[in-house]
Amino acid sequence: MSPTPEQRARLDIDSALEAAGWIIQDRAAMNLAAGTGVAVREFRMASGHGFADYLLFVNGKAVGVLEAKPAGYALTNVELQADKYAGGLPAGLNPPVHPLPFLYLSTGVETRFINGLRRTRGVVHSEGSGRAGTGHSVSCEAEVVT
């Protein structure tokens, strides 16, 4: 059976995250000490905030979210959803910055990045991605948000 478009996107996103040095884990088997960058799938957020497709941790601290959508989906349509996750952390995570500053919206082909620390946005395609613990590479279509 062929994967659904959303499943295909998640497979592509998993591959891109792994290529960039992230360790991908399911919530039930979460081990934040497994490496510098850990991406946890289907992370339950605080009450009323749902599940983030991926919650991103660097050195054991939550720093961002990644929302997955099928190829062809307009990523600008899910910025509010990602913002909701960034501000809806469950108690006890104690992130270095709240709300979480790094938001990724991805189809596996195209990834939109929002840097809440610098108030910039960018778009990268499948050949570019953020490296765990080494900053975030956004090379084209960057703009300052006012």
Residue-wise pLDDT tens for the chain (146 aa)? 898 998 999 999 999 999 999 999 999 999 999 999 999 999 999 999 999 999 999 999 999 999 999 999 999 999 999 999 999 999 999 899 999 999 999 999 999 999 988 866 666 554 444 544 434 333 323 333 33
Structural contact between residues 129 and 135, judged by C-beta atoms closer than 8 angstroms: no
Residue 136: its pLDDT value, please? Answer: 37
**Residue extents of the structural domains in the chain:** 8-64+74-97+111-131
Residue 94: its pLDDT value, please? Answer: 86
Distance from C-alpha of 66 to C-alpha of 130, rounded to nearest angstrom: 11
Residue 122: its pLDDT value, please? Answer: 62
Tell which residue, 41, 40, 39, 43, has the closest CA to residue 22.
39
Task: Give the 3-state DSSP-derived string for the chain, with helices as H, strands as E and coil as C.
Answer: CCCCHHHHHHHHHHHHHHHCCCEEEEHHHCCHHHCCEEEEEEEECCCCCCEEEEEEEECCEEEEEEEECCCCCCHHHHHHHHHHHHHCCCCCCCCCCCCCCEEEEECCCEEEEEECCCCEEEEEECCCCCCCCCCCCCCEEEEECC
| pTM of full prediction above 0.95 | no
Structural contact between residues 77 and 37, judged by C-beta atoms closer than 8 angstroms: no
